[in-house]
Amino acid sequence: MSEQSTKKSMIRDLTKGPIIPLLLSFAMPLFLSNALQAVYNLVDLIVVGNYIGGAGMSAVSIGGDILHLLTFIAMGFSSAGQVLIARSVGAGRLDEVKKTIGALFSFLLAASVTIALLCFFLRFSILGWLNTPKESWNFTLDYTVTCVCGLPFIYGYNVVSAILRGMGDSRRPFVFIAIAAVLNMVLDVIFVKYCGMQVFGAALATVIGQGTSFLTALFYLYRRRESFGFDFKPASFRIEGATFRRMISLGIPMAIQSAAISFSKIVLMAWINVFGVEYSALAGVFNKINTMCGVISQSFTTSGSSMVGQNLGAEKFDRAKKTVFTVLGFGLGFATLFTLIMLFAPDFVYGLFTKDTAVLDLAHILTLSIILNFFGAATCSGAFALINGSGRPKINLAIAIIDGMIARIGLAALFGFTFEMGCRGFWLGDALAGFMPLLIGTVFYLSGRWKQKR
């Protein structure tokens, strides 16, 4: 076997074959992987909610939002790296693949350590800025500090997953996260229920699971290093100028987009916390339900981005267009299914999270906003598959500003404060802002600019 064929053995060609089976074969393992990744914080909320109550749920909710905000660089730059790898693969430029991998590892792992240290020293100030309820202050501090210590594991796993998915492999990331998710669920129950470690135990289980996931994935990548030409020698981790500039131009807008939405949720959380620990706990339920729906959207967005990226690299524009509409169709189908569940069995859904009657009595105010979020996530999956796959940083930046900063915070303030709807208004504004990517993506599609080479 020649060196070239050996290097291509890990690379999956997404420019040939029927679109729907190919998209599903890529998206379903990715969906399961993302679902299990989302389960980390979801399981924490359920276990804590059932064994500790509203104060523990508030801590997991606040700490989870903080942790999600801190991953904005990982999410943005790993997505950028995945797109760059996919486009390089589609164009047959394997030397660029190696350079992108080295830049991803070096930059993101350094960023994770820097952010973790900064947040540790600012931990008390951060909880104060968020108006953390006094009933859940100590729990929140335990959960947040513990999870921040595991930040390098989250960043590292995102790097390895981006590399594999950019090459068309979405199955291995699922295997790695599945092992970690099962470990997290088992340890959650052991630490919280049987060892009496309370919220700290849930956070510790999460970090152990994340560390296992990253180290397992890294070991797999190292064992297969000859297949894609990255030898893991120190020189390979050098950040090459031109490659890093491409990553920066695409990664910064994607990171800002992720940070803007996460920051808006942090602002909303600070407003909600003023209303008391029950509403703070309820915010956790709202976010986790939307996160599980977003898992499907993210899965089809990520798989669609890789398919669109490879097909645009190969100049198969019609196939790229069909991929976008297929992604949109699947998203709307799942949104409809979830809507029916929320309409006909809301008590069952909310009851999964807690037995705290004070929280459950308020839960009905979430239903409309949750349903709107389902369809917002569905429509943005098609838009982002096209935008990310075509490598358009300016459009991602526009979405970040309009969706994350202007629409999300602005609409939440409008309904919550101006219309005096309180927390119900905050959640309604958050949901309506989710349709902004659809509007921008539609204009971009109709312009035809996605066909231009970048």
Per residue of the chain (454 residues), give pLDDT as tens.
344 443 444 556 777 888 888 888 877 777 776 676 666 667 888 888 888 888 888 888 898 888 888 888 888 888 888 888 877 776 667 677 778 888 888 899 999 999 999 999 999 999 999 999 988 899 999 999 999 999 999 898 888 888 887 777 767 777 887 778 888 889 998 999 889 899 999 899 989 988 988 898 888 888 877 766 677 788 778 888 787 888 888 888 778 777 877 888 889 999 999 999 999 989 988 988 887 777 788 888 888 888 888 888 888 889 999 999 999 999 999 999 999 999 999 999 998 888 888 889 999 999 999 999 999 999 999 998 998 888 786 787 788 778 777 888 999 999 999 999 999 999 999 999 989 989 999 999 999 888 887 6
451 — phi, psi (to 5°)? -85, -15
Question: Tokens for 65?
Answer: 């939002």
Cα–Cα dist 207/213, whole Å: 10
Residues 6+ apart with CB under 8 A from 448: none
Q: Closest Cα partner for 162 from 215, 208, 218, 112?
A: 218
pLDDT for 90: 67
Count of all residues that appear for the chain in the document: 454
Question: Which long-range contacts link 313-320 to residues 24+ away (Cβ below 8 Å)?
Answer: 313/86, 313/87, 313/88, 313/89, 313/90, 313/91, 314/15, 314/90, 314/91, 316/15, 317/451, 319/15, 319/19, 320/386, 320/389, 320/450
pLDDT for 390: 87
Q: Closest Cα partner for 239 from 100, 82, 112, 114?
A: 100
pTM: 0.75
pLDDT for 40: 61
Question: Under a CB-based contact definition with an 8 Å cutoff, are residues 154 and 64 in contact?
Answer: no
pLDDT for 41: 60
Cα–Cα dist 46/355, whole Å: 10
Alpha-carbon 352 to chain mean position: 22
Look at the block and give the residue holding tokens 């930040």: 151
pLDDT for 5: 42
Cα–Cα dist 397/394, whole Å: 5
Question: What proportions of the chain, in percent to the nearest 5, are helix, strand and coil?
Answer: 85, 0, 15
> Cβ of 190: how many Cβ atoms within 10 Å?
13
Q: Closest Cα partner for 306 from 38, 65, 79, 7?
A: 79
Question: Under a CB-based contact definition with an 8 Å cutoff, are residues 263 and 404 in contact?
Answer: yes
Look at the block and give the residue holding tokens 């807690």: 354
Q: What amino acid occupies position 136?
A: S
Question: Tokens for 181?
Answer: 């998710």
pLDDT for 190: 93
DSSP classification of residue 17: S
Question: Under a CB-based contact definition with an 8 Å cutoff, are residues 203 and 63 in contact?
Answer: yes
pLDDT for 7: 42
